[in-house]
Structure 1
Amino acid sequence: MEENFICLDIGGTLIKYALAADGRLRERGSVPTEGRTAGAQGVAEKVLAIVDAFRGRGAAGVAISTLGIVDPVAGKIVYAGPSIKDYTGMNLKALVEDATGLLCTVENDVNCAGLGEYWLGAGRGSRSLVCLTVGTDVGGCILFNGRLWSGANYSAGEVGSMGLTEGRFGDLASVRRMVQRAAKAHGLSAQGIDGETVFAWARAGDADAVNAIAGLIAPLVEGISNICYMLNPECIVLGGAVMDERQYLAPRLLADLEEAVPRAFRSATRLTFAELGNDAGLIGALYHFLQRRRDAEAKARNAGLTGEAGKVR
C-alpha cells in the first residue's frame, strides 16, 4: 500500500503544503505565514491545523521545510531572522510529534530545495552538488553522496554571507540589488518594478536593464568561481524565480565562468538550472524524511533493536 506523507514548506510569506507519495505532490495548498504579526505560536497553530486536516488520510509522517538555521536531529530552529517573530528556539519536531503522534522531520528550506533537485530535479545522478537560490539574498546547500553537509553548527551553505571583492555575496547578487539599479537608471521607484520587468526591458534592448543584469551576473560568477575552487562539485544548481530567465542568463553566466575559472578547475562541474520550481522544498522535505527514516531503521537493525526501527531521530 502506498504511503502518504504530509509535507510543509514554511516561508516568510506562505506556508505551502501537500499530501505526497513517491515524490508526487497532491492536494496542494497554502496559507499566509503572518510570522511578523502572529509570530511563532501562530505559525505552530497553522502547522498543526494543516497536519490535523490530513491525519485521517493514513499519513505515515510529517516532513517540514522551513526558513532559518535548523538542527535537523532535534528538529529545532537554531536561528531565524525577523520574518517569524520568536521563531528562534522553537522545536517543531517535538511540537508536531507530541500533538499528533506522527513522526516528523525538520530541515532548512534551501537544504530541502537542494535535496529535492538532487532526488527528482536538475541534480539527478550527481554525487556532489551545490544548490544556490538567488532572490532577496543568496542561499546555499551542499551535498556529498546524497548527504547534506550541515557543518559543525548546521550553518554550512550560508553562502550569502561569503565575502566577495565588492562586498557580501547575498547583497551583490540579489534580485533586489538588480531591480534597484535598473529603477534608479530609469528614475523610478524600485517598488514599482520587479525582476520580470528588468528582463523584459533587457530583451527589448534597454541598455540600463542590460547593465543591471550584468551587475547581478558578475558577483554570481565570482561566488560560483569560489565554490568551484573550494568544493569542486559535480553539479551546481541555480534556483530562485530569477533563474526562470535561463535563456537570457545561461549563455552569459557560462561565458563569464569560462573566463573566470581555468578549465582544469571546472571541467567536471555541470552548471544547471533548477527544475522543480516552488515544489523543490516540499519534495526535498519528503526526501529528507525518507532518508532519516532509512537511517533510523538501519541503525536499529545494526543494533538488533527491531522494535525501534520506526523512530526518526
Structure 2
Amino acid sequence: MALYALFDIGGTAIKYGVSDAEGHFVKNDTVNNPAKEKGIRGMLDVLERLLLDMKAEFDICGTGVSTAGVVDAEKGEILFASDNIPGYTGTKPKSFLEAAAGIPCVVENDVNCAGLGEAWLGAGRGASPLVCMTLGTGVGGCVIANGKLLHGASNFAGEVGYLPMPGGTLEELASTSALVRRVSDGKGLNVQDIDGKKVFEWAQNGDRVCLEAIDEMLDALAQGVWMTACVVNPEAFVIGGGISAQKDFLEPRLREKLSGIMLPHVFENTRVSFAELGNNAGMLGALRCILNNESV
C-alpha cells in the first residue's frame, strides 16, 4: 500500500501525518513550530526529523507540504511569507526535504491545499469550478477546476482578500480579526481580550453589538462571493477557516444576503457551503497535490 508523509505548516504549529492514497490517516499529530524562537533552521530541523521518523516507520513514497505564504509550486519555494514565520521568504522546502529523505516532495500554499482537500473529500466534492474562501486572521481563496488549482500568471489567482470594496478590502471587512476589532470598538474592550469564539457566544445570547458586527461581516462576505461569481461563475463556494465552526449560525444568514444581491439564475445554480474537513484539510490537499503530480 502506497503511503505519503504530509505536513501543514502554520505560524504556531506544524501538523503532520501519514496517509494512504484515499486520505485515510495511519498517523496524525501536531508539534509546535519553533521558527519564532529558533529561526527557519530550527523549523527545517523539525521537518527533517519528523519526515525521517515517518520514513523509518512506514514505506513512504512521497511527501506533500501545505504551508503558509505565497508559494511557487513548480519550484517548491516560498516567494513571500509574513512575520508569522520570520525569515521564511526564499526558503525552499521541496529541495530541502527531498535532499533529507530522498523522497519526491510537492509544496503548495495552505489555502490552496485546504481548497483541494474540500474539493476532493469535503464540502466541495463533485463541484467544478470551485472557489474556496477562508476567513481567519486574513481572507484567502483559491480556484479549482477539474480537480486542479488555477495558479495564475503570478501565483495570485483566487486571492479574494484583496478585492476592493467600499470601506476597504474584503480582508479588512470580512476577516475574523476585523469582526473582533468591530466588537472590541463597540464594547470599549481591548481587542486582545476577546476572540471570534467569544463574539459568536455573545451573539447567540442576543448581544446587539456582536450581532451587528457579524451582520456587517456577512454583508462584506456576500459582496465578495457575488463579485467572485461574476468572474468565475463557480458551481460551488466553500467557506473555510475557523469561522466554518459557526456553520449553523452563519449559513442561513449568508444565503439570505446572497439571495438579495445575486441574479436569481446565478444564485439558484451556485452551491454555498461551509468547510467539512477541519484541521485535516491542508494535509489532505497536500496529498491531492501529490496525486495530481505525475512525477511523484
TM-score normalised by length of structure 2: 0.96
The whole-number CA distance in structure 1 between the counterparts of 2:96 and 2:198 is 42
For residues 92-111 of structure 1, the C-alpha deviation after alignment (integer angstroms, 9 at most, x for no partner) is 11111111101111000000
- The size of the alignment, in residue pairs, is 294
List aligned pairs for 1:247-266, cutoff 5 A.
Answer: 247-266=248-267
For residues 211-240 of structure 1, the C-alpha deviation after alignment (integer angstroms, 9 at most, x for no partner) is 111121111111111011111000100001
Contact 2:129–2:146, Cα closer than 8 Å, also in 1: yes
Shift of 1:174: 1.0
The whole-number CA distance in structure 2 between the counterparts of 1:96 and 1:248 is 42
% identity of equivalent residues: 40
**Unpaired stretches in structure 2, ≥5 consecutive residues:** none
For residues 182-206 of structure 1, the C-alpha deviation after alignment (integer angstroms, 9 at most, x for no partner) is 1222222221211121111111111
Contact 2:148–2:292, Cα closer than 8 Å, also in 1: no
What SS does the aligned partner of 2:51 have?
A: helix
Letter in structure 1 aligned against 2:142: C
Shift of 1:142: 0.4
Letter in structure 2 aligned against 1:123: G
List aligned pairs for 1:92-111, cutoff 5 A.
Answer: 92-111=93-112
Contact 1:34–1:84, Cα closer than 8 Å, also in 2: no
User: Equivalent residue for 1:15?
Assistant: 14
User: Equivalent residue for 2:207?
Assistant: 206
User: Equivalent residue for 2:78?
Assistant: 77
Letter in structure 1 aligned against 2:48: L
Shift of 1:246: 1.1
Contact 1:135–1:242, Cα closer than 8 Å, also in 2: yes
Contact 1:8–1:16, Cα closer than 8 Å, also in 2: yes
Shift of 1:37: 3.0
What SS does the aligned partner of 2:140 have?
A: strand
The whole-number CA distance in structure 2 between the counterparts of 1:227 and 1:39 is 37
The whole-number CA distance in structure 1 between the counterparts of 2:94 and 2:210 is 45
**Unpaired stretches in structure 1, ≥5 consecutive residues:** 297-311
The whole-number CA distance in structure 1 between the counterparts of 2:155 and 2:39 is 23
The whole-number CA distance in structure 2 between the counterparts of 1:276 and 1:263 is 30
The whole-number CA distance in structure 2 between the counterparts of 1:26 and 1:169 is 38
Q: Cα RMSD over matched residues?
A: 1.2
Letter in structure 2 aligned against 1:224: V
The whole-number CA distance in structure 2 between the counterparts of 1:83 and 1:257 is 33
For residues 59-106 of structure 1, the C-alpha deviation after alignment (integer angstroms, 9 at most, x for no partner) is 111110001111111111111111222211111111111111011110
The whole-number CA distance in structure 2 between the counterparts of 1:31 and 1:221 is 36
Q: Is 1:32 matched with 2:32?
A: yes
Letter in structure 2 aligned against 1:17: Y
What SS does the aligned partner of 1:152 have?
A: coil
Which deviates the most, 81-90 or 99-108? Answer: 81-90
Q: Which has the larger radius of gyration?
A: 1
Letter in structure 2 aligned against 1:76: E
The whole-number CA distance in structure 1 between the counterparts of 2:287 and 2:156 is 21
Letter in structure 2 aligned against 1:52: L
User: Equivalent residue for 1:309?
Assistant: none
